[in-house]
Amino acid sequence: MRYIVIFLLLLSESIFAQPAGLYRVDSTRLTDIRERLVQLAIQGPTYEMADHATQAAASQITIAKAAYLGLFSAQGNLNEFTVRNAFSSGNNNQYAQIYYPRYNFGLNVPFDIFTRTRNTVKIAKDNYSITLAEKNEKFREIKADVLTKYENYLLAKQLVEFQSKLTQNEYSQFKRAESDFADNLIKLDDLEKAQKSYITEQVKSLSMQRDLNLSKIEIEKVIGVKIEDVEKGLK
């Protein structure tokens, strides 16, 4: 009796441990796949727009820092006046026009130039910080979304594999029932029961295959390539 109990305990541990091993065959490879999926996902237009907004905000900081140069204005003019200088040459008096230029320059500096520039730069930096935070938040959203879709895909794929084995088992049971019915070993009700069980498992297989196909569509919409290509490329 003691040996039977030990055997049952070992058997139950083996049964419960098997699905975990099937679901996570190579954790290192799965980590690489996840990283690749995130890289592909952030190449989409959603993250690209957030990245361009951040770059534009960074450019605004540079523009704001140089804006004070446009606040200076210089003025200047050239005034001329003439002096008639008389000199004699014989009996005729001749006059010479002599020009003396006079230059006037002025520099107009607004009193609030430093305050205005400092505030403009601060606003530009704040806008950059906002766009950078939005970009980081968008990255986290995209990462969570693509990894969630990948987990759904893995689960759907695993369920299809398990259901395929169950369906195949029910098919074998149904074919055996057909053979037994032909040999008059079972009744018609037993045959119909086996057939009904097989059809039920077939319906489950079709439903789970549909779920797997939909999960593939969802994740490939985000990464832009086939999920099989990603998995094959990291083998």
pTM above 0.85? no
Residue 90 per-residue DSSP state: T
Q: What pLDDT is attached to residue 118?
A: 82
How much is the average pLDDT of 105-131? Answer: 77
CATH code for the structural domain at 25-233: 1.20.1600.10
Q: What pLDDT is attached to residue 110?
A: 63
CA angle 60, 66, 71 (to 5 degrees): 120
Least confident of 57-66, 81-90, 163-172, 179-188: 81-90
- Are residues 117 and 68 in contact, defined by beta-carbon separation less than 8 angstroms? yes
Q: Residue 156: CB partners within 8 Å, gap ≥ 6?
A: 208, 211, 212, 215
What percent of the chain lies above the pLDDT cut of 90? 54
DSSP string over 198-229: HHHHHHHHHHHHHHHHHHHHHHHHHHSS-HHH
Q: What is the pLDDT of residues 167-211, one digit of tens each?
A: 999 999 999 999 999 999 999 999 999 999 999 999 999 999 999
From the CB of residue 177, how many other CB atoms can be counted at a distance below 10 Å? Answer: 20
In the chain, count of helices (H) and strands (E)?
Answer: 6, 2
Domain residue extents for the chain: 25-233
How much is the average pLDDT of 37-55? Answer: 92
How much is the average pLDDT of 139-162? Answer: 96
pLDDT band at 119 (very low <50, low <70, confident <90, very high): confident
From the CB of residue 199, how many other CB atoms can be counted at a distance below 10 Å? Answer: 13
pLDDT band at 77 (very low <50, low <70, confident <90, very high): low
